[in-house]
Structure 1
Amino acid sequence: MKKGILCAAVAAITLLSGSAMAAEKVKVGFAPEPYPPFWVPDAQGNWTGWEVEFIDAVCDEAELDCELVPVAWEGIIPALLGGKIDVIMNSMRINDERRKVIDFSDSYYDMPTAVVANKSDDIGVSPEDMSGKIIGVQVSSGQQAYANKNFASQASEIRGYNTQDEAYQDLAAGRIDVVLDRVITMDQFLRSDAGKSCCETKGNLPADSATLGEGNGAGLRKDETELKTKLNEAIAAVQADGTYAEISKKYFDFDISPKK
């Protein structure tokens, strides 16, 4: 009888321990639009790419059960604040404006923003170069904030697009004059048939932490201190153990790690 009680007690303890060790479920919000090489849909509609692999590595390291939840980019911060998702990991720039409403993890990658325009257009990246131009930017992006801050008085129009692809389509068709974008996604466009035939990079914009941010990080609600700590520890761990470099070399021939 005592042996039966002991076995039952051991089984109960084992069950409780297993429950205690179950991974915390975390809903990771992302905008369901191609953003190569960070987010690329395959033929079955599954998402692949650098950031997808990075999220998997971070969640494994932090022992989190992460679920990718698609949310339109313009509604992704409201979805976070409303509790529909727990964290944003979608190449979101860390900047002062967003810090007013959400918190961020440590930065996990960074790259400059550049100007792309028609090959025949002899312009640079200064406000004077934007005189009379129609500038295309993705809505709710650092590039839109930069353009509004630095180019609004010179440009003919700053036109917002829901996706970067739409901006490039209009650039290739001659409906706008300039697109502001980060160099890696701009490079993807310039390698395409449409991009190769029409356009080229005109130079990188100066650093501006207020608009272009301080690298890219995970967006969190301000009260999620425990989750923030877990993510920061996991981000540091995958960088230290070589996982970050192993993932990155599949997609880039240059360093995208955040600059200290």
Structure 2
Amino acid sequence: MRIVKQAAIAALALMAVTGAVQAKEWKNIRIAVEGAFPPFNYVGADNQIGGFDVEIAKAVCNQLKAECTFAVQDWDGLIPALQAGKFDAIFSSMSITDERKKVIDFSRPYYQSPSSFIAPKSAAIKDTSPESLKGKTIGAQSSTVQATELEEKYKGSDVKLYPTQDEVNLDLVSGRIDMLFVDKLPGLDWLKTADGANFEFVGTDLPTDGVGAGVRQADSDLRDQISAAIVAIKADGTYDKINAKYFPFSIWKD
């Protein structure tokens, strides 16, 4: 009996040393995006998805020599659907947070963007501390780091949460909210539109931990392969070419 146990232990040790147990090689990856967060992800007039997130995901898949398929999923359903096995990874400008890391895992960040307030130019708001914004009605997309920040720290404000960022923007234009809180990069893109012409960033930006690809906690091999691919497309210049299509400055997070 002892001989059998020793043989089994020796075999396991040999497997560890020789790498006999290999991580799964992902050659088919199902990817989800919200499709409603331009310029990062959107559904175009031709009913095709596009945007920065999508192009980075495709570059990652190309680096991994994997066949990838894409699906559109509403924002609030992204994590539940991932956990239910409807797809394998989320590339949808999902910020890395401690709260989310309790239920899913993340690749290394593939971009960074602070959180920012936007208000009418006529409001001339300078201070965006919780004390200064007491009584203000502030909008944000639900289930985002901005929503969490407002609910936890801006208790003296009237916080309104919406299913999509477009709805937040529309209520700001219509005057139903005093200001909004958003990821700065899509906010910058919106300020360039006709609807955003009379609005501006106000106050101080709040830093985040960056945006990564979300995967199930059990799929650490996929997480690591995506992370390695992100580093590789940065090194070979692919990332910078995609970045330049959307932004006049680098959004890479070291």
TM-score category, normalised to shorter length: 0.7 to 0.9
CA distance in 1, matches of 2:205, 2:185: 14
| Unaligned stretches of 5+ residues in structure 2 | 1-24
Residue in structure 2 matching 1:126, options 124, 129, 145: 129
From 222, 227, 231, the equivalent of 1:232 is 227
Equivalence map 1:38-53=2 (5 Å): 38-53=40-55
Instruction: Give the structure 2 partner of residue 61 of structure 1.
Output: 63
Give the 3-state SS of the residue equivalent to 1:195 in structure 2: coil
The superposition leaves residues 164-204 of structure 1 with CA deviations (integer Å, 9 ceiling, x where unpaired) of 1111111111100110011211112211212113x111033
2:30–2:89 contact (8 Å) kept in structure 1: yes
**Unaligned segments of structure 1, at least 5 residues:** 1-21, 208-212
From 26, 30, 34, give the equivalent of 1:31. 34
Deviations along 1:101-154, whole A, 9 cap, x unmatched? 1111000000111111111223222112211011101000000001111111x2
Q: 2:116·2:206 contact (CA, 8 Å) conserved in 1?
A: no
The alignment of Structure 1 onto Structure 2 pairs a total of residues equal to 229
Give the aligned residue type for 2:191: L
Please provide the CA RMSD for this pair. 1.4
Counterpart Cα distance in 1 of 2:113 and 2:246 = 14
Residue deviations 1:196-231, cap 9 Å, x none?
Answer: 13x111033333xxxxx4100011111102111211
Relative to structure 1, the CA distance from residue 95 to residue 215 in structure 2 (aligned partners, 3 Å threshold; closer, same or farther) is same
Task: Give 2:241's aligned residue.
Answer: 246
**2:197 equivalent to 1:202:** no
Q: Is the 8 A contact 2:146 2:182 kept in 1?
A: yes
Instruction: Return the alpha-carbon distance in structure 2 between the equivalents of residues 48 and 254 of structure 1.
Output: 20
Q: Is the 8 A contact 2:107 2:223 kept in 1?
A: yes
TM-superposed deviation, 1:23: 6.8
Residue type of the alignment partner of 1:220: V
Distance in 1, matches of 2:45 and 2:206, equals: 38
Deviation at 1:42, TM superposition (A): 2.6
What TM-score results when the alignment is normalised by the length of structure 2? 0.86
| Residues 74-223 of structure 1 aligned to structure 2 (within 5 Å) | 74-123=76-125, 124-152=127-155, 154-155=156-157, 157-197=158-198, 199-207=199-207, 213-223=208-218
TM-score, length-scaled by structure 1: 0.84
Q: Secondary structure at the match of 1:67?
A: strand
Structure 2 counterpart of 1:30, one-letter code: V
Would the aligned equivalents of 2:29 and 2:66 in 1 still touch at CA under 8 Å?
Answer: yes
SS of residue paired to 1:128: coil
C-alpha offsets along residues 47-100 of structure 1, whole Å, 9 cap, x if unaligned? Answer: 122221111110010122111111111011000111111111100000000011
Post-superposition, which runs of at least 4 consecutive aligned residues in structure 1 deviate over 6 A?
none
- State the AA in 1 paired with 2:33: F
In the TM superposition, what is the alpha-carbon distance from 1:32 to its structure 2 partner? Answer: 2.7
Determine the C-alpha separation between the residues in 2 that align with 1:120 and 1:201. Answer: 12
Amino acid at match of 2:40: F
Amino acid at match of 2:252: S
- Supply the AA of the counterpart residue of 1:151: Y
Question: Quick one: distance in 1 between partners of 2:57 and 2:177?
Answer: 35
Q: Is the 8 A contact 2:34 2:42 kept in 1?
A: no
